């Protein structure tokens, strides 16, 4: 699946796969598939264009994906330059499909121009560090429950010498900040759910509101678990 020189891609893929397996992505696994190196049709090339990692989310009863998340992975010793984001955006624009989201994941810090460009094009940016690059003072991988703020994000994105404590994940999409894969993907799903439900109403409610997107099933499950727990206590 991964060749030489794709060490970081493998690291990112395994991180996402683990989150999904442990149901920490906020997604129902039956409706979600993760791929490495999959190709998608390009209008310009009249052929498939390779992606590093992709996540396909499919509505119940559908055979084709309804939301596609394309992830570009870059591991550098120096800063990520705006050219890398421009190249990624050009690739995203070639992929055929109405609902394609872009995430740029890097191990390095960024130039401010690169982050500004990503924000202007709706590209989510993640700095995902390896465990050895983090000062863990709790069990490795437990994470920091402190909500991420602009000061932490600033250091995580722009300071290469910064060694965070108990935090290996820094992300933003536009003005929104995220401290986990789950929060970022649920943000995408909320956008998509609103759009899908609106279209359903226009199309004479082809899907009822509660069937619009798998996240509603997650909400139902959590409500049931909450009420069951209260009843047991």
The burial of 158, by beta-carbon neighbours within 10 Å (0-12 exposed, 13-18 middle, 19 or more buried), is given as middle
Cα separation, 72 vs 26, whole angstroms:
21
Whole-model pTM: value is 0.78
Q: Tens of pLDDT along 16-67? A: 998 888 887 777 778 889 999 999 998 888 899 999 999 998 877 888 888 8
Q: What is the CATH number of domain 7-181?
A: 3.40.1350.10
* Whether pLDDT at 116 is above 90: yes
Q: Which of 125, 55, 62 is nearest to 88 (CA)?
A: 125
Report long-range pairs for 187-192 (Cβ below 8 Å, ≥24 apart): 188/67, 188/69, 188/101, 189/26, 189/27, 189/57, 189/67, 189/213, 189/214, 189/215, 190/215, 192/57, 192/66, 192/67, 192/99
Q: Where are the domains of the chain?
A: 7-181
Q: Which of 113, 74, 112, 109 is nearest to 91 (CA)?
A: 74
Strand pairing class (47-50; 39-42):
antiparallel
Q: Kindly list the distances between the CA atom of residue 131 and the CA atoms of 21, 35, 45, 136, in Å, as whole numbers in the listed order.
A: 19, 23, 39, 8
What kind and span of H or E run contains 203? none
Q: Tens of pLDDT along 138-172? A: 554 445 556 678 888 888 999 888 888 888 899 99
């Amino acid at each position: 699946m991964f060749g030489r020189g794709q060490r970081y891609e493998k690291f990112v893929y395994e991180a996402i796969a683990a989150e999904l397996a442990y149901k920490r992505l906020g997604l129902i696994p039956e409706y979600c598939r993760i791929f490495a190196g999959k190709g998608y049709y390009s209008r310009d090339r009249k052929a498939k264009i390779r992606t590093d990692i992709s996540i396909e989310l499919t509505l119940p009863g559908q055979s084709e994906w309804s939301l596609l998340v394309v992830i570009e992975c870059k591991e550098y010793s120096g800063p990520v330059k705006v050219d890398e984001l421009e190249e990624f955006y050009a690739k995203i624009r070639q992929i055929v499909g109405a609902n394609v989201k872009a995430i740029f994941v890097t191990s390095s810090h960024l130039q401010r121009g690169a982050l500004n460009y990503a924000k202007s094009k709706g590209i989510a940016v993640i700095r995902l560090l390896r465990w050895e690059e983090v000062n863990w003072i709790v069990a490795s991988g437990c994470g920091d429950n402190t909500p991420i703020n602009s000061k932490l994000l600033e250091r995580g994105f722009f300071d290469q010498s910064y060694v965070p404590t108990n935090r290996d994940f820094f992300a933003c999409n536009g003005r929104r900040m995220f401290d986990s894969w789950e929060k970022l993907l649920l943000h995408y799903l909320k956008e998509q759910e609103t759009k899908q439900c609106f279209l359903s109403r226009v199309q004479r409610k082809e899907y009822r509101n509660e069937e619009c997107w798998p996240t509603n099933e997650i909400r139902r499950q959590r409500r049931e678990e909450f009420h069951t727990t209260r009843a047991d206590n």
